[in-house]
A = this chain, B = another copy of it.
Amino acid sequence: MKLEKITKRPRGACKDSSARRYDDACGAAHALDLIGERWALLVMRELMFGPKRFSDLRADLPGISANVLTQRLERLEEIGALTRRKLPPPAASHVYELTPWGYEIEPVLSVLGRWAARSPLHDPTLPLSAASLMLSFKTMFDASRAKGLNARIGFRIGDETFLVRIHGGKCDAARQALEGAEVVFAGTARAIAAAVYGGAPLAALEAEKALAIKGDRALAERFTRLFPLPQKA
């Protein structure tokens, strides 16, 4: 039982120190060297609306383990995509924030999202984070359906608030106070997604207490129809 442990090593080579990189000048390949590891891009996604703490990231990325999150944050800092800051005295905690170049990852998230939305295997009923939902609005917004619309729609998801502005055929979203919102959705990101992408009637979601709407109801209804999903491939 205590036999051949080390003896033979002629097979199963191990290209020494060359790590696991694509040695490829192609930009896409280099991007994968930088952020192609598991969870890396989703960590950046969660930071797209501003800094967060370690535990916020853990909570918003269900399934990631603490050690993997630590490794990804270290790597993202190493490549210059995020910075780690110490909060002022009251809180002895750290926050992680994307650098300007880090924020430029947004088009990658958009384009990947649009591509995957055409996948027959895509299941829009799975849970999602608040950041994912806000990004999906920016990604899936259909300007032609928002002709002449100028609105501020608020969202209260957990203890965060977001303001989505629709103005001049553009759709922008930010994590900020709800001042000036003509209507406010309060609920889980999943419930809001059910209304916008799943076609669930607002009244039904409210009846289930999954969603609460305050303000201009007609605007809320119209809002849910501004984000058509593409045809499946």
Residues of A within 8 A of B (CB): 20, 22-32, 34, 36, 38, 41-42, 45, 62-63, 79-80, 99-101, 104-105, 107-109, 111-129, 132, 135-136, 139, 190, 193, 233
Report how many copies the assembly holds: 2
Most buried by B among A23, A31, A104: A31
Write the chain B residue with the least CB distance to A194. Answer: B25
Cα distance A10–B109 in the bound complex, in angstroms: 38
Cα distance A22–B60 in the bound complex, in angstroms: 12
Contact B28 A112 (CB under 8 A): yes
Contact A30 B111 (CB under 8 A): no
Cα distance A29–B43 in the bound complex, in angstroms: 11
Contact B233 A116 (CB under 8 A): no
A27 and B120 in contact, given A108-B115, A233-B100 (Cβ under 8 angstroms): no
- Closest approach, in angstroms, between the C-beta of A194 and any C-beta of chain B? 10
